[in-house]
Structure formats: structure tokens, C-alpha cells
Amino acid sequence: MDNNIDRRVWLGMIFIFLGILFLLNSLEIISFNITNIIFTWQFFFIVIGLIITINTNKKLLGGILSGIGVVFIIPEIFPTIEYDFTVVLAIIFIALGLYIILNKVEKERSSFLAESQDTINDISIFGGSEKSLKSDNFKGGSITAIFGGSEINLKECKLSEGNNIIDILCVFGGTTIKVPSDWNVIINITPIFGGFSNKIIKDPLVQVDTNKKIIVKGLVIFGGGEIKS
């Protein structure tokens, strides 16, 4: 089973789960108003976090988003439980601290990749970034844009032999990737209320090397992106 089928299965399971909740609510098998739970930012965080965890390599980010959603949705399900401002602030600080520490550990494990011009590792959260790389052996990497955007220029790069992967995650954000017109590009993006387009202008006089591929895969949620020459 390939990645595309895996994503469809997981997405289908989420919709089935939501359908079951609505059915149980309409049959009065569950007592609380499920619509007041589903149509909240907390539930949105849980679903987005699960999708990110399942479909990308950003397991840490997905887990923290889902965790925040779970913590803050508890008072919606059990009205007797209330959080005051100090509890909310404490949860936010703890989540930020965990993300900073664990993200630093992950970066240290792959520091040799981050320091290399042969890979791209870009994260844009609530902001934007522009990067240009120059490499004779580009191997891919990862690009994350959450409530932000990025522009990555790879026109001075040459692909490594075989399959090279760029893992994309855009949530309420986007990215633009510029590549040489002779690159063999395969787009394998799962869009959810978003999109990702291939705008490479092929030169009929230039032959594409099929032994070298750049596979752009990942997840776009309420966001977008493009790859162009």
C-alpha cells in the first residue's frame, strides 16, 4: 500500500469517526451536544494534530497540537471543570517549553543535515523566510510553513542520483520552490482545503534526466504552494 492510499484511509477513518459521533448524538445514545464540541478550535487542533502526526514526519508538532486541543476541550465536555487564566497560561508555557526542548533534540540529531547545502530544512511559523541553496548533490529535505510562508531557491542546485524527497507541511501557510527547468519533479501532496501546483516551464531543447528525481510530498491544510522554474 503506497503513501497516497495510507493518507486516504486515515482521512476516511476520521470522517467515519465524525459520522458515528453525529449518529450517536442523533439517536441520543450520547448525552452532550456533539456539534458544540466538533465546531470548536480545540477539536480543530486535535484533528489537525492527528493528521500532521499520521501523514508527515512532524510527529512532535502534531502531538503538541493534539495535546493542546485535548486539554482545552475537556471543559467543553465536562462543564463542571473550569480553567482560570493562570492554568491556561501554565499549559501554554509547558507546551512551548516542550516544543523548544524536544525540537532542539531533534535538530541536534540531524544537525549534519541542517548544516549541509545538500539539504533544505526550513521552518516558518507566524512569519516568512527566503533561502537560496547551491549544491552539486542536492538530496531534498523538509519545509514547514504554519501561519507563514517561505520561498526556496534551488536553481543553483544539481540533483543527487536516485530519488530525492522534499517533505512539505503547510498549515494556513504556503511555500514556493524554484528549481531548474530540467529537473524531473514528481508531486505527491495531500491537500485538505488547499492545493499545490506544478508551474515548471519545460524547455523542449533540454532533456530531463530520469535517473534523478525530486519527489515533493507531504500535507497542505488550508494552505498552498507551488514549484516553478
Residue 24's CB: how many other CB atoms inside 10 A? 12
pLDDT at 4: 44
Q: Are 216 and 177 in contact (CB under 8 A)?
A: yes
Cell of 87: 492554568
Q: Are 44 and 69 in contact (CB under 8 A)?
A: yes
pLDDT at 86: 74
Per the DSSP assignment, residues forming a β-bridge with 142 are 121, 167
pLDDT at 30: 60
pLDDT at 177: 92
Q: Count of residues for the chain?
A: 229
Residues of the chain scoring pLDDT < 50: 1-5, 110-115
pLDDT at 153: 92
- Check: pTM over 0.75? Answer yes or no: no
Q: Are 226 and 196 in contact (CB under 8 A)?
A: yes
User: In sequence order, which residues have a C-beta less than 8 Å from that of residue 32 and are 6 or more positions away?
Assistant: 77
Q: 120-130 in b/e burial notation, b at 16+ Cβ within 10 A?
A: bbbbbeeeebe
The angle formed by the CA atoms of residues 42, 44 and 49, to the nearest 5 degrees, is: 100
pLDDT at 1: 40
Q: Are 54 and 60 in contact (CB under 8 A)?
A: no
Q: DSSP alpha helices (H): ranges in the chain?
A: 3-26, 35-38, 41-55, 59-77, 85-109, 111-114
Q: What is the pLDDT of residues 167-184, one digit of tens each?
A: 888 888 889 999 988 888
Q: What is the pLDDT of residues 118-163, one digit of tens each?
A: 888 887 777 778 888 888 889 888 888 888 888 999 998 888 888 8
Amino acid at 218: G
